[in-house]
Amino acid sequence: MILQEVAQPSEGIKLVVNNVQAFYKHDSLGNGVLYITDRAVIWITTGSKGFSVSYPAIVLHAISTDVSSFPYEHVFVMVDKRKSGLELAAAELEDEESDDDEEGPGLEIRLVPDDKDALSSIYHEISVGQEENPEEDDPMFDDEEEEEMEEEEGMNGDGQMPSGQWFTAENNLCAILTEF
Amino acid sequence: MLFFSFFKSLVGKDVVVELKNDLSICGTLHSVDQYLNMKLTDITVSDTDRFPHMISVKNCFIRGSVVRFVSFFEWLWVLLTKFGQG
């Protein structure tokens, strides 16, 4: 992956983690500082080089603790290449083209913090960032529809949940009973 | 939010989530939010040849906008793992 000139973020910073090694697939990109902001996940190594991935470009993220397939515990981030603006080096592009699918399945970035305790906070802050950055022009989440729902169900109807509120098995039963 | 209501009723069940990049993930739907962001636990992927990096992952967070469809028929997953490799 070709590292780009990235400015150090100054606002909206949720989390800063020093000594984070980033990998593209299995190749180390070096040691750097990870910034999780309200807009993007940014990693910067020496000489202001690094990458910045905005939330809409992040397909999924996860914590991997299985060291049999990768030598370090890490936060795995799958990135949509078209949305991210990240560029691959020529040799890496050839690898990608040998793939059946022209688009490629997505870029795989692994973040390995020196401090293992940071894994869960990195995962958590990326989750929060995802919740706070939904698609801007998705007709499915049109405001008009939201308003109609509010009228139908009343402002405090259970169809309307504030951002960041998750529906889990624990709080599931009551809502289902009221709905059906 | 018809879909949100529907997915809420699937929480705790085993589902197959197919992403727009053709990755299919089977797992237990842990939770879902209003943007259909989903948290899955105990995941497996069908096409491990193309997505080898996913083997080591057990739980994940999926951005709602990258989901193509969600299936909750477990037998479909059996078909995918049996014949999806070819």
Q: Residue B42 sits in which domain range?
A: 2-80
State the ipTM, two decimals. Answer: 0.79
Per residue in A97-140, pLDDT (tens digit) is: 544 444 556 788 999 999 999 999 999 999 999 999 998 876 65
Contact A69, B55 (CB under 8 A): yes
For the question of whether the overall pTM of this predicted structure is more than 0.80, the answer is: no
pLDDT of residue A46: 87
Number of A:B CB contacts under 8 A?
119
Backbone φ, ψ for residue A20 (5° rounding)? -115, 125
Q: How many domains does chain B have?
A: 1
Looking at the fold, whether A77 and A154 belong to one and the same domain comes out as no
Give the DSSP letter of residue A8.
P
pLDDT(A8) > 70: yes
Q: Which of B1, B9, B50 is the closest to A149 by Cβ?
A: B1
Q: Which residues of B touch A (CB under 8 A)?
A: 1, 3-5, 7-9, 11-12, 19, 21-23, 30-35, 37, 39, 50-53, 55-66
Pairing mode, if any, of strands A49-54 and A58-64?
Answer: unpaired
Top residue of A41, A53, A65, A78 to mutate, by most chain B CBs within 10 Å, is A78
Looking at the fold, whether A114 and A149 belong to one and the same domain comes out as no
Q: How many domains does chain A have?
A: 2
pLDDT of residue A29: 95
Give the closest-approach CA distance of A28 to chain B in angstroms: 15
Chain B touched by A178 (CB under 8 Å): no
**CB–CB contact B63 A130 (8 Å):** yes
pLDDT of residue A131: 94
Per-residue buried b or exposed e for A21-57, using 16+ beta carbons within 10 Å of the residue's own CB: bbbbeeeebbebebbbbeebbbbbbeeebbbbbbbbb
What is the pLDDT of chain A when averaged over all its residues? 81
In a domain? residue B86 = no
Looking at the fold, whether A86 and A162 belong to one and the same domain comes out as no
Residues of chain A found within 8 Å of residue B62, distances taken between Cβ atoms: 59-60
CATH assignment at residue A19 = 2.30.29.30
Q: Residue A168 sits in which domain range?
A: 139-179
Contact B8, A172 (CB under 8 A): yes
pLDDT of residue A98: 46
Looking at the fold, whether A144 and A165 belong to one and the same domain comes out as yes
Looking at the fold, whether A93 and A147 belong to one and the same domain comes out as no
Per residue in A59-79, pLDDT (tens digit) is: 999 999 888 888 999 999 999
User: Of A13, A130, A115, A6, which is closest to residue A62 (Cα–Cα)?
Assistant: A130
The CA–CA distances, whole Å, from A133 to A55, A94, A160, A176 equal 6, 33, 18, 27
Per residue in A23-57, pLDDT (tens digit) is: 998 899 999 999 999 999 999 998 899 999 999 99
Give the start-end residues of each E strand in chain A: 4-5, 13-24, 27-37, 40-44, 49-54, 58-64, 74-79, 107-113, 167-168
pLDDT of residue B48: 73
Q: Which among A132, A152, A168 is the end of a domain?
A: A132
d(CA A146, CA A36): 30
pLDDT of residue A154: 44
Per residue in B8-53, pLDDT (tens digit) is: 988 999 999 999 988 889 899 999 999 999 999 989 887 777 776 6
Backbone φ, ψ for residue A119 (5° rounding)? -55, -50
Residue A164 vs residue A173, higher pLDDT = A164
Q: Which residues pair with A54 in a beta bridge?
A: A40
